[in-house]
A and B are shown apart, each in its own frame.
Chain A
Amino acid sequence: QKEVEQDPGPLSVPEGAIVSLNCTYSNSAFQYFMWYRQYSRKGPELLMYTYSSGNKEDGRFTAQVDKSSKYISLFIRDSQPSDSATYLCAMSRSGGGADGLTFGKGTHLIIQP
């Protein structure tokens, strides 16, 4: 079993729809959870950062972490064509700067105008 599982998609939805992206993981030592967005030929950029379980909202984006189920989600409201990208979940054991990240494969999201 891979440490982090993420459906690679592609996931295609119409503009304005609510998008739900998910990852599951197996290592209970993960404490910090992140979502990155990656456009073609660019490096990943951080979207959301969450520590332990709970919800975090930033504009149209909401991140949820359920450590008991080892399940994290990213919701995008009022999706826009500019949201079309690959979304990567990532996690780490520590947030202290010394720990590398464990990534999912990434989900390719397409928002249809």
Chain B
Amino acid sequence: GAVVSQHPSRVICKSGTSVKIECRSLDFQATTMFWYRQFPKQSLMLMATSNEGSKATYEQGVEKDKFLINHASLTLSTLTVTSAHPEDSSFYICSARFWGGPMNTEAFFGQGTRLTVV
């Protein structure tokens, strides 16, 4: 299947600092990228949807000024957690979808990023 690379896989940062997470589609062009968050023993929850060249659409309850999403190209989306606090500690995972062919409805996932804010 298609490959989505997410980096870093694990990051520890100090409270008040910002952290950037990258999501790259390595062998296909992702028209849409999604960012999810998973707290312990909870479901993966959709945070936002971004289309290349457009502003991201955020789910209810997700602060757009805190979680900045940039999808500047068809192969790269970034999530920046600004002024991170301990309650932002979570597992963040991206997924990418593309149009065309029989696979146009599948979402491929990155490996996820474990963020710990201390």
Task: Give 10 closest A-B pairs by Cβ, nearest first.
Answer: A43-B109, A100-B46, A95-B105, A103-B44, A103-B43, A97-B97, A100-B34, A105-B43, A44-B109, A43-B111
Determine if B6 and A43 form an interchain contact, defined as CB atoms under 8 angstroms apart.
yes
B43 CB contact (under 8 Å) in A4, A43, A45, A97: A4
**In this complex, what residue of B is CB-closest to A3?**
B43
B31 CB contact (under 8 Å) in A44, A95, A97, A105: A97
Among B107, B110, B112, the most chain A Cβ lie within 10 Å of the Cβ of: B107
Q: How far is the CA of A4 from the CA of B4 in the complex (A)?
A: 26
Contacts of A102 in B (CB 8 A): 43, 46
Determine if B32 and A45 form an interchain contact, defined as CB atoms under 8 angstroms apart.
no
Q: Which applies to chain A's interface (DSSP): helix, strand, loop or mixed?
A: loop
Q: How far is the CA of A46 from the CA of B103 in the complex (A)?
A: 11
A7 CB, nearest partner CB in chain B, Å: 12
14 residue pairs bridging A and B, Cβ less than 8 Å apart: A8-B41, A32-B105, A41-B112, A43-B6, A46-B106, A49-B105, A97-B104, A98-B49, A98-B51, A101-B107, A103-B36, A104-B43, A105-B42, A106-B43
B-contacting residues of A (Cβ < 8 Å)? Answer: 2, 4, 6, 8, 32, 36, 41-46, 49, 88, 95-98, 100-106
Interface residues of B in 1-35 (CB under 8 A from A): 1, 4, 6, 9, 31-32, 34
B104 CB, nearest partner CB in chain A, Å: 6
Q: How far is the CA of A43 from the CA of B25 in the complex (A)?
A: 13
Among B44, B49, B98, the most chain A Cβ lie within 10 Å of the Cβ of: B44
B1 CB contact (under 8 Å) in A46, A96, A100: A46
**A45 touching B111 in the complex, CB below 8 Å, given contacts A4-B43, A105-B41:** no
Contacts of A44 in B (CB 8 A): 44, 93, 109
Determine if B46 and A43 form an interchain contact, defined as CB atoms under 8 angstroms apart.
no
